[in-house]
Structure 1
Amino acid sequence: MAIDFKEHIASVKDFPNKGIIFRDITPILQDGKLYRAATHELAEYAKSRGAEVIVGPEARGFIVGCPVATELGIGFVPARKPHKLPREVESASYDLEYGSNVLEMHKDAIKPGQKVVICDDLMATAGTLHATKELIENLGGEVVGAAFYIELTDLKGREQFPDLDIYSLVKYHGA
């Protein structure tokens, strides 16, 4: 029987700012069976896309992407916030639903032509996805898909990537 992951996502009003409904995945993470099931679904998606490596943006992308890479027996590459990586980096800036930031990856993290699936907890405005994809492509990788626990469809992030295959476990539209 398929799991309705939406039943296990907490909705927190006015966090982190008034008017925002924060979709909290920690109830899934706290339940080993749910976490494993969510990981398995994303891993099956990544496998179907021919992923050779998983990239996850800081911080929840680590929580989502690492177990996917482990299940598939492939590598994981973190896309970090500034000044967290010790070697030469590639950088890309992005806007969030409520702010802006920069992501960085080691310049040798992705091999030219390597097929990459990006994994993260949530796609809203797709700023993080845009920056992560830009980093991967600047390093010579091929983004073959993106997988999320949650997609906020009313923010139209998916529409920015008409040629990118995007998978999400749960979709929310509005409140």
Structure 2
Amino acid sequence: MHRKGFTLIELLAVLAIVGIVAGIGYPQLLQFIQNQKAISATNQLLGIINFTRNYAVSSGEPTTLCPSSNGKTCLNDWKHPLYVFVDSNNNQVIDSDETILRKLQSATEIEITWQSWGGNKYLQYQPSGFTYKQNGTFYICSIHQASTANNSIVINRGGRPRVSSNKEPKC
């Protein structure tokens, strides 16, 4: 007599093994997802910084990157969308006659802080590609404790950005 199928004990044993493997793997999966979000936010921020610098050099006009909640006034809260604009009068306000070149929506579950020499709430590139006394660091951190991908983007006096990983984040 041949039986087809599984016994209850065999089915429970398989379910127990699957449950144990899922329980071990799930926290690692969450950490992986959070790390990838932080890496993606770092790459997006680096891309918009490079765009700002390249546009300033190629257009010959001061170009500003700053967060704004209303698309007009620069804030010091980098949770808001980021705007790149030609700041022809150097007032760090998006005036009606100034062109918004790019807008980057803020990343969810990521905290960004900007610490610059002089405490400016914006990053501005001159036509030479240099910042005007604005070397500083962007700190990019996940808001989740499980994430270990806390990065920073360091901007030197010459305006060049580079990515660095934070062992002790300052978010």
Q: TM-score, normalised by structure 1?
A: 0.24
TM-score (norm 2): 0.25
Which fold has the larger relative contact order, with Cα–Cα distance below 8 Å and residues 6 or more apart in sequence? 2
Bigger Rg, which one: 2
